[in-house]
Each structure stands twice: as structure tokens, then as C-alpha cells.
Amino acid sequence: MALTPSLPVLAAAAASLREHDLRHPALRPPRRLVQAVLAAAASHARGADRVPLAATLHGRVDISEQAVAAVVHDAARDVAGVRSRRCRIDRPAGTGSGLRIQLRTAVAPGVDIRRAMDLVRRNIREAVAASVGVVPGTVHLTVEDLYDD
């Protein structure tokens, strides 16, 4: 069973433990309790933003924005002369399907930016569709810098 308390509850529990430790320095919490608290904090920190993928009678499937962003970064990396930077993923409310992907990039000097961005967009759409099972509705790309190796 996964323990996923909200951050305020976790903060209150941590404050209570600190106060208890000051009064009883020889007592130590059970190892399983420490592991459960750390696991809850880590899961909350890394998976707070999720994109719903599907719902069935047996449950639903969500994917973290970080996981989708990793697919996006890999797809952009496949285009020569392009480096991916910041990525934002969301599913616009009321659209029913599709993801909105916003990726900031840097390109090498001499790269045909229009052609490179067309390739990046195609790679992202194909990779997200193949890996996540959702075709991106929009893929917004911004070239924000040039890099020189």
C-alpha cells in the first residue's frame, strides 16, 4: 500500500517527530516508518503533475509530466544541431484529447532552423504517440539560443 499524504500532513508529522525527539533523544522511529515517510515525500516531489491518459472500468492510467518530457527531450535530441531545453506538458481542459507540448531549444550556428524545427516537431509527435499512446494536439517550439561546441 502506497503512503501518499499531502505535504501539510507530512510537515505536521515531521514537526511532531522533531518535538518528540527533543524530549526523548534515545528513542528512534522504526526503520519502516522512516522509509515510508521518505518514500511519500519523494513520490510527491517527483510526481505531482500528472497527465490522465485513459480511464476504464478497472481504473485509470496517468503519466507524470516528467515522463512525457523525457520522451520529448529524447525525440528532440535525435535532430542534429538541436538541443532541447525546458519542456512543459499539459492537457488543456475541455479538449477531450491531445496534449499541449511546449519545448524551448537551442540550435547550432548554421542550422536551418525552420527545417530543424519541422523535424523536431515530427519526431516529438511520433515519439509521444508511440510511447504514451496520445497524439499531441499542439507542439510549440521556441528557439531561444544558439550554442557553439
At residue 1, the pLDDT reads: 38
Residue 31 CB burial class (10 angstroms; 0-12, 13-18, ≥19): exposed
Predicted confidence (pLDDT) per residue in 1-49, tens digit = 344 556 787 788 778 878 877 887 777 777 777 777 776 666 555 555 7
Least confident residue range of 28-32, 69-73, 120-124: 28-32
> What is residue 31's predicted lDDT score, i.e. its pLDDT?
74
